[in-house]
């Protein structure tokens, strides 16, 4: 067993916090661990820092932080290979498989108490995320060469839910003269979660197809209103499509009108709305020119139109947008103009170009960089983007599990690692199947699955349990702010896989009922209480938006409030 103990006051003194905290202190901890393993004296830190840290401006602060690590705690070299503290390994997925199958063995990383898993660098960076709660204060990390079990991850997640997803609510009731009113009934009714439980509502394309014609009785289109009711009853977050191929199938003719109507329905149903994706090397229209200069001009014009119609100052402002999708996903497998451009310039330039084209979207508070590969290449690309001064609201992590369900520790550790960049984490595309797992293949630049892909009764019960476990894990991680189901029904699921919460006839599967019980009942606050002798009612509630009512009959008053901080006090005058 190896362990690291650091005095937080030493490592994070203001004089040492220069440069980018996430990168500086991650490097510091890795460097200090490396120095201890090589048994180098603390006095050698500066020299080794110059060797290992390329950015000159970061050398001094990194060396100082590493010195503090060595001086104020101790690091003992492990007897066998392990993942160093401060850097949580994330396995690379098979190329474009979206399956969750792992190449090689899982990293040898485990923590006796997962609440202590977060690195010191992660704690520093996480404190900079607006609206996110602070982490635990434990400063002891342990590894023992194994991976956390399902029960260990879920136990820590449940502790995280109690700590990070709940708050203390105090309701004070008084008369107009300020005197406390005791024994007054108080109703606390939750309206929506702070956490974003989302879904890709691409099934709504059926509504677009139904425009101008009356569908025959018994068809899928006849059940569209039922579909929308089921979505509204579960989700508070929606992803709507901006794929270039379908948004602008012919040059100059866009689907903006339909997308605006879909946006209006989502907002009227109480959903926050995200657009996906703006720049991607797949799903591009056939009319794009081969000339790169013309391509970039058309890409810029497309993004300017979307900003005009859906930007912060439009009548349909998107709360979030995936400004680039899968930027390091080997575009050499594709021959379209966008893929060839990305292959020529490389991920960094492609990401920064997309960012600059979308600047008017207010990307520091709305922008998401999204990927299904969670490896070092993507992590480093995001870090370089942030270090260049291009801030983002969140990192989007996909989890299409068509080839096999992922262990829970992968979700936890990937969330921890990317949060160390100082941004929130959104799990943007989560697919769990209710049928057989299959290996996907790339055919003519399109992923395909062999044969039909039915849902089975056994698979549906397995899907329900696996989704409950994954939702619990991610809801309990303090850095995760959103989780999106991909897709809602099997009728229009990606690749025709049985990944929806509804079957092909829009009938809810067991997974839908399980998530309703979890999100709308177990993780929901609807309480009745009364004020005590001091006129105060105290409750422990889930964070979100509330309607609070005090009194009864004609002497009753209601207020709306947001519970987003660890403790909130509300005063009602009767």
- Domains of the chain: residue spans and CATH: 2-147 (no CATH), 166-190+524-573 (2.60.40.1120), 239-364 (3.20.20.80)
Question: What stretches of 334-485 adopt beta strand conformation (E)?
Answer: 367-371, 394-400, 424-431, 441-443, 446-448, 480-485
pLDDT of 129 > 60? The answer is: no
Q: Which residues pair with 253 in a beta bridge?
A: 250
C-alpha distances (whole Å) from 181 to each of 534, 550, 573 are 7, 10, 9
pLDDT (mean) for 219-248: 85
pLDDT band at 333 (very low <50, low <70, confident <90, very high): confident
* Radius of gyration from C-alpha coordinates of the chain: 25
Provide the token pair at 142.
């342990």
pLDDT of 408 > 50? The answer is: yes
Residue 359 class from Cβ within 10 Å (0-12 exposed, 13-18 middle, 19+ buried)? middle
Sole residue written with tokens 């509804």: 502
16: how many CB neighbours lie within 10 A of its CB? 21
pLDDT (mean) for 15-38: 42
pLDDT at 17: 33
DSSP characters over 86-133: T----PPBPTTT-S-PBSSPPP----SSGGG-S-HHHHHHHTTSTTPP
Task: Name the nearest CA neighbour of 290 among 278, 302, 298, 282.
Answer: 298
Residue 77, sorted as left (phi over 0), alpha (psi -120 to 50) or beta, turns out to be: beta
Least confident piece of the model among 26-40, 240-254, 282-296, 550-564: 26-40
Is the CB of residue 201 less than 8 Å from the CB of residue 238? yes
pLDDT of 143 > 70? The answer is: no
Give the C-alpha separation, 126 to 504, whole Å. 41
pLDDT of 213 > 90? The answer is: no
Q: Which residues pair with 544 in a beta bridge?
A: 193, 563
27 by DSSP, 3-state: which? Answer: helix
pLDDT at 220: 54
CA dihedral 240, 242, 247, 252 (to 10 degrees): 130
For 239-317, where are the alpha helices, taking DSSP H only?
A: 244-247, 256-268, 292-310
245: how many CB neighbours lie within 10 A of its CB? 16
pLDDT at 42: 45
Give the C-alpha separation, 550 to 529, whole Å. 10
Is the CB of residue 141 less than 8 Å from the CB of residue 116? yes
Task: Name the nearest CA neighbour of 420 among 77, 114, 118.
Answer: 118
Q: What are phi and psi of 327, to 5 degrees?
A: -70, -20
Most confidently modeled range among 17-26, 362-371, 487-496: 362-371
Angle at the Cα of 57 (from 55 to 62), degrees rounded to 5?
80
Instruction: Give the mean pLDDT of the chain.
Output: 78
Is the CB of residue 514 less than 8 Å from the CB of residue 468? yes
User: Cα 2 vs. chain centroid, distance in angstroms?
Assistant: 31
pLDDT in tens, 63-91: 454 454 444 333 333 333 333 333 333 33
Provide the token pair at 229.
């009711």
Task: Name the nearest CA neighbour of 379 among 340, 435, 327.
Answer: 327
Q: Which residues pair with 276 in a beta bridge?
A: 241
Task: Name the nearest CA neighbour of 373 among 108, 96, 104, 103.
Answer: 96
301: how many CB neighbours lie within 10 A of its CB? 12
pLDDT of 366 > 70? The answer is: yes
Least confident piece of the model among 194-198, 443-447, 472-476: 443-447
Provide the token pair at 105.
């063995």
Q: Which residues pair with 336 in a beta bridge?
A: none
Angle at the Cα of 387 (from 352 to 306), degrees rounded to 5?
30
Give the C-alpha separation, 170 to 442, whole Å. 56
pLDDT of 36 > 90? The answer is: no
pLDDT in tens, 450-499: 678 899 999 999 999 999 999 999 999 999 999 999 989 988 888 889 99
């Amino acid at each position: 067993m190896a362990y690291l103990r650091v005095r937080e006051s030493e490592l994070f003194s203001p004089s040492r916090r220069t440069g980018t905290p996430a990168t500086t202190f991650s490097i510091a901890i890795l460097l200090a661990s490396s120095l201890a393993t090589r048994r180098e004296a603390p006095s050698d830190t500066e020299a080794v820092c110059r060797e290992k840290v390329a950015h000159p401006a970061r050398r001094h602060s990194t060396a100082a932080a590493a010195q503090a690590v060595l001086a104020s705690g101790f690091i003992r070299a492990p007897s066998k290979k392990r993942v160093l503290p401060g850097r949580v390994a994330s396995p690379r997925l098979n190329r474009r498989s979206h399956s969750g199958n792992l190449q090689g063995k899982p990293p040898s990383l485990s923590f006796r108490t997962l609440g202590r898993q977060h690195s010191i660098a992660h704690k520093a960076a996480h404190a900079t995320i607006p609206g996110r709660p602070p982490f635990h204060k434990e400063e002891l990390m342990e590894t023992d060469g194994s991976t956390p079990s399902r029960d260990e991850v879920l136990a820590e997640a449940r502790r995280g839910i109690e700590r990070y997803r709940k708050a203390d609510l105090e309701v004070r009731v008084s008369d107009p003269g300020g005197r406390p009113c005791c024994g007054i009934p108080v109703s606390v009714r939750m309206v929506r979660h702070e956490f974003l439980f989302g879904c890709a509502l691409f099934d709504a394309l059926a509504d677009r197809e139904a425009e101008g014609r009356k569908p025959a009785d018994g068809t899928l289109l006849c059940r569209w209103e039922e579909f929308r009711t089921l979505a509204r009853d579960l989700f508070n977050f929606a992803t709507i499509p901006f794929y270039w191929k379908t948004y602008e199938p012919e040059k100059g003719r866009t689907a903006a009108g339909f997308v605006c109507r879909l946006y209006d329905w989502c907002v009227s149903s109480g959903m926050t709305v995200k657009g996906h994706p703006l720049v991607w090397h797949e799903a591009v229209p056939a009319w794009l020119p081969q000339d790169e200069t013309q391509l970039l001009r058309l890409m810029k014009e497309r993004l300017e139109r979307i900003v005009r119609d859906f930007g912060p100052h439009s009548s349909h402002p998107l709360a979030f947008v995936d400004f680039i999708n899968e930027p390091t996903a080997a575009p050499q497998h594709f021959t379209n103009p966008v893929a060839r451009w990305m292959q020529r310039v490389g991920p960094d330039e492609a990401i920064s170009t997309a960012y600059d084209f979308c600047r008017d979207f207010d990307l520091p508070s709305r922008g998401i960089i999204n990927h299904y590969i969670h490896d070092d290449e993507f992590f480093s690309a995001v870090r370089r983007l942030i270090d260049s001064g291009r801030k983002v609201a969140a990192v989007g992590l996909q989890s299409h599990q068509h080839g096999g369900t992922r262990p829970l520790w992968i979700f936890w550790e990937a969330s921890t690692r990317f949060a160390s960049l100082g941004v929130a984490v959104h799990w943007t595309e989560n697919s769990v199947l209710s049928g057989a797992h299959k290996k996907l293949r790339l055919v003519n630049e399109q992923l395909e699955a062999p044969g039909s892909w039915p849902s089975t009764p056994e698979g549906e019960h397995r899907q329900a349990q696996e989704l409950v476990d994954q939702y619990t894990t991610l809801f309990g991680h303090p850095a995760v702010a959103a989780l999106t189901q991909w897709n809602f029904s099997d009728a229009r699921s990606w690749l025709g896989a049985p990944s929806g919460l509804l079957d092909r006839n829009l009938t809810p599967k067991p997974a839908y009922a399980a998530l309703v019980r979890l999100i709308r009942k177990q993780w929901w606050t609807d309480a009745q209480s009364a004020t005590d002798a001091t006129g105060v009612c105290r409750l422990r509630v889930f964070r979100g938006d509330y309607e609070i009512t005090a009194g009864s009959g004609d002497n009753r008053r209601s207020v709306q409030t947001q519970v987003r901080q660890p403790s909130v006090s509300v005063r009602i005058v009767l």
